[in-house]
A and B are shown apart, each in its own frame.
Chain A
Amino acid sequence: MNRYLIRRTLLAVPTLLVISILLFGLLQLAPGGPAALYAGPDAGPEDLERISRLLGTDQPAPVQYLRWLGGILRGDWGISFRYREPVVSVLAGRLPNTVQLMAAALLIALLLAVPFGVVSAVSRWRLVQYLASIAAMLGVSVPTFWLGMMVLLVFSVKLRLLPSGGIATIGLEHDPVDRILHLIGPAGVLATMYIAAWSRYIRSSLLEVLHQDYIRLARAKGLSEGAVLTRHALRNALLPLVTLIGLQGGSLVGGAMITEVVFAWPGMGRLLAEALASRDYPVLMAAFMIMAVLTVLGNLLADLAYGWVDPRIRLG
């Protein structure tokens, strides 16, 4: 570890603090206070005042923020207005599902993007290049939620191959085959954008690398084309991809959110959408912060990984 990496790591903390202040300030501006929502339509003015005092919303905003922050650090994330249970336990039920979805999507994307990008870069056939560039562009242009709807339409409504959403069939929660069948649709849809974006990146990066002198040298000393490609070209071409993957943490979070809504996947994104609709502030705040943490973590990992794979950075 050098100073650059340490500084990057330490910077993540103030970044998250600023995000939390911004979000807290935003929620203060929201119409219809939390107390009114918690109390319900039948509550009188005294009830409202009592609940306000109970929730702490009668305090000035900075006090509320510091209390909230202190609570977060102690593991007390408040009570969900909607579910009437601690936010921590609401989230604990959802976060693993989102992580599972994201991990599956990233795995699919990595496994497919590299061969796809390599083929579109080294293929000598015009037609393959053309089709590959159209397919890749299509992948980054189609809205994720619409792709999800079309997958549901084709594979579950028409062909009846996949379940029509959810995370498991009721009663079969521990059946791995059933779980995988439920995962294929959303993970595949979420992966599509990344397969397309990364393979485009790999293609242009590889084309650039293949013109370098050291590739000519490798060929000149008699290495097979396969060895030149995998051992010399690809290694250097894939370097920038590491950064790209990390930087897309934010879009992955957003993509996962909307995919969850389409496929009725019980994860954080769907929870956030529900919390918005029901003005469940504690859950909203917590779900949003977890998404911000995932994004910042992605950026940080990108920096660290880049320093790890590229020795030149370590000197900087």
Chain B
Amino acid sequence: MPTATRSQAERTIRPKPPLTPARRAWRTFRRHHLALAGAFILAVLVLASALAPVISRYDPEAASLEILAPPSAEHPLGTDDVGRDLLSRLLHAGRISLSVGFGAAVLTVAIGVLAGAPAGYYGGRVDALLSALINVMLAIPILPLALVLSSFVQTNLTFVILIIGGLSWPAVARIIRAEFLSLREREFVEAARVLGAGSGRIIFLHILPNTLAPIIVAATLQVANAILLESALSFLGYGVQPPQASWGNMLQDAQRYLRTVPELAVYPGALISLTVISINFLGDGLREALDPRLQV
């Protein structure tokens, strides 16, 4: 066959690119409009709080004599009860709340893997012990316990992340355990074992990468949970401490002005809700895209 006709044929019947798992996941995800919108809004929020000093030149912690000023060209959203620029505070608070969200989610997943993986992989006595721990932890109401813990010390950002991560992991550990429990019976694990791989190698290099999909979904939802928990802690006065702003502790101050200046309460809460709903939709989309069982 002459080469010219062959290339012409290739041009007309172009072979479809192979449908790799990643490509298929992206295809499903792309169809989930609300997840796309969530990802976009989240990106805008992250960017806005990262660029906080550029967007608003006011120091978020500097008080001034302009107390409870209405919105103006100087202060686009007005000022709070001690004369701090509201826009500045909202943006900087976003940094804190998002850091807590992402930081605590990473910690939650890390502990969840360290507890869930051996429980599912080894089974037997290891599983009995770790599962008992997980079940006890799940039976403790998180918010009251987090409150008790944070009431002991002067809390700061790191401490809040540690508390939230240290209390939220059991739910993730349970998911990881279930994954390991089923994956350890598969042929590829047996093959690795026959080739002489040690337990640590099998857990981290062979099984863990295969649990990535549920881990990503769980981690996403944990970011949302952590942001909600931080806001509740800070609202009650035991989370991020003033004058450092977080959306939660801004709401604590705003409570007193609910009758007179409701904007102080509306903005931070609306931002928490917007952030959390965006993350939740993103998590929904990821779940649909990554869970092979949902792909019909």
Please give the residue numbers on chain A whose beta carbons come within 8 Å of chain B beta carbons, in ascending order: 15, 18-19, 22-23, 26-27, 29-31, 133-134, 137-138, 140-146, 149-150, 152-153, 157, 250-251, 253-254, 257-258, 261, 269, 272-273, 276-277, 284, 288, 291-292, 295-296, 299
Q: Would A133 and B258 be within 8 Å (CB), given that A18-B136, A142-B273 are in contact?
A: no
Choose one: B143, B148, B280; the contact of A137 (CB below 8 Å). B280
Determine if A258 and B280 form an interchain contact, defined as CB atoms under 8 angstroms apart: no
In the assembled complex, how far is the CB of residue B103 from the closest CB belonging to chain A, in whole angstroms?
A: 19
| B34 adjacent to chain A (CB < 8 Å) | yes
Dominant secondary structure at the B interface: helix
Q: What residues on A are CB-neighbors of B151 within 8 Å?
A: 30, 276-277
Determine if B144 and A253 form an interchain contact, defined as CB atoms under 8 angstroms apart: yes
Determine if A29 and B152 form an interchain contact, defined as CB atoms under 8 angstroms apart: yes
Q: Encode contact with A along B30-57: 1 for CB under 8 Å, 0 otherwise.
A: 0000100000000000000000000000
In the assembled complex, how far is the CB of residue B18 from the closest CB belonging to chain A, in whole angstroms?
A: 30
CA–CA, A269 and B148, complex, Å:
13
In the assembled complex, how far is the CB of residue B226 from the closest CB belonging to chain A, in whole angstroms?
A: 12
Choose one: A133, A146, A296; the contact of B251 (CB below 8 Å). A146
Determine if B272 and A291 form an interchain contact, defined as CB atoms under 8 angstroms apart: no
Determine if A141 and B34 form an interchain contact, defined as CB atoms under 8 angstroms apart: no
Determine if A145 and B235 form an interchain contact, defined as CB atoms under 8 angstroms apart: yes
Determine if A150 and B259 form an interchain contact, defined as CB atoms under 8 angstroms apart: no
Q: Known pairs A251-B141, A258-B235. 13 more at Cβ < 8 A?
A: A15-B139, A19-B140, A26-B149, A142-B276, A143-B276, A145-B235, A146-B251, A153-B262, A253-B143, A254-B144, A254-B232, A258-B232, A288-B148
Determine if B277 and A138 form an interchain contact, defined as CB atoms under 8 angstroms apart: yes
CA–CA, A291 and B141, complex, Å:
7
| B126 adjacent to chain A (CB < 8 Å) | no
Q: What residues on B are CB-neighbors of A30 within 8 Å?
A: 151-152
Determine if B144 and A133 form an interchain contact, defined as CB atoms under 8 angstroms apart: no
In the assembled complex, how far is the CB of residue A29 from the closest CB belonging to chain B, in whole angstroms?
A: 7
Choose one: A146, A157, A254, A273; the contact of B141 (CB below 8 Å). A254
Determine if A292 and B152 form an interchain contact, defined as CB atoms under 8 angstroms apart: no
Q: Could you list 30 A-B pairs, sorted by A, with CB under 8 Å? A: A15-B136, A19-B139, A22-B140, A26-B149, A134-B34, A137-B277, A137-B284, A138-B277, A141-B273, A142-B269, A142-B272, A142-B277, A143-B228, A143-B269, A143-B276, A145-B231, A145-B235, A145-B251, A146-B268, A149-B251, A149-B265, A150-B266, A152-B258, A153-B262, A157-B259, A157-B262, A258-B235, A272-B144, A291-B144, A299-B139
CA–CA, A276 and B138, complex, Å:
22
| B62 adjacent to chain A (CB < 8 Å) | no
Determine if A254 and B142 form an interchain contact, defined as CB atoms under 8 angstroms apart: yes
Residue picked from B139, B151, B228, most chain A C-beta under 10 Å: B139
CA–CA, A229 and B281, complex, Å:
28
Determine if B273 and A292 form an interchain contact, defined as CB atoms under 8 angstroms apart: no
In the assembled complex, how far is the CB of residue B141 from the closest CB belonging to chain A, in whole angstroms?
A: 4
Determine if A149 and B148 form an interchain contact, defined as CB atoms under 8 angstroms apart: no
Nearest B-chain residue to A249, judged by Cβ: B141
CA–CA, A138 and B272, complex, Å:
11
In the assembled complex, how far is the CB of residue A218 from the closest CB belonging to chain B, in whole angstroms?
A: 22
Q: Would A133 and B34 be within 8 Å (CB), given that A149-B251, A149-B258 are in contact?
A: yes
In the assembled complex, how far is the CB of residue B237 from the closest CB belonging to chain A, in whole angstroms?
A: 8
Determine if A149 and B255 form an interchain contact, defined as CB atoms under 8 angstroms apart: yes
Q: What residues on B are CB-neighbors of A29 within 8 Å?
A: 152
CA–CA, A152 and B255, complex, Å:
10
- What 4 pairs across the A-B complex have the smallest Cβ distances? A254-B143, A146-B269, A141-B277, A141-B276
In the assembled complex, how far is the CB of residue A233 from the closest CB belonging to chain B, in whole angstroms?
A: 18
Nearest B-chain residue to A154, judged by Cβ: B262
CA–CA, A291 and B237, complex, Å:
21
Q: Would A257 and B144 be within 8 Å (CB), given that A18-B136, A250-B139, A273-B236 are in contact?
A: yes
Determine if B232 and A273 form an interchain contact, defined as CB atoms under 8 angstroms apart: no
Choose one: A26, A143, A258; the contact of B148 (CB below 8 Å). A26
Q: What residues on A are CB-neighbors of B265 within 8 Å?
A: 146, 149-150, 153
CA–CA, A144 and B231, complex, Å:
10
Nearest A-chain residue to B152, judged by Cβ: A30
CA–CA, A157 and B254, complex, Å:
14
Q: What residues on A are CB-neighbors of B141 within 8 Å?
A: 250-251, 253-254, 291-292, 295
CA–CA, A258 and B232, complex, Å:
8
CA–CA, A22 and B272, complex, Å:
32
CA–CA, A150 and B258, complex, Å:
9
In the assembled complex, how far is the CB of residue A25 from the closest CB belonging to chain B, in whole angstroms?
A: 11
Interfacial residues of chain B within 249-296, with CB under 8 A of chain A in the complex: 251, 254-255, 258-259, 262, 265-266, 268-269, 272-273, 276-277, 280-281, 284
CA–CA, A29 and B280, complex, Å:
37
Determine if B236 and A261 form an interchain contact, defined as CB atoms under 8 angstroms apart: yes
| B64 adjacent to chain A (CB < 8 Å) | no
Q: What residues on A are CB-neighbors of B237 within 8 Å?
A: 277
CA–CA, A288 and B251, complex, Å:
25
Nearest B-chain residue to A273, judged by Cβ: B236
Determine if B272 and A146 form an interchain contact, defined as CB atoms under 8 angstroms apart: yes
Q: What residues on A are CB-neighbors of B144 within 8 Å?
A: 253-254, 257, 269, 272, 288, 291
Choose one: B143, B277, B284; the contact of A257 (CB below 8 Å). B143
Q: What residues on B are CB-neighbors of A295 within 8 Å?
A: 139-141
Q: Encode contact with A along B150-181: 1 for CB under 8 Å, 0 otherwise.
A: 01110000000000000000000000000000
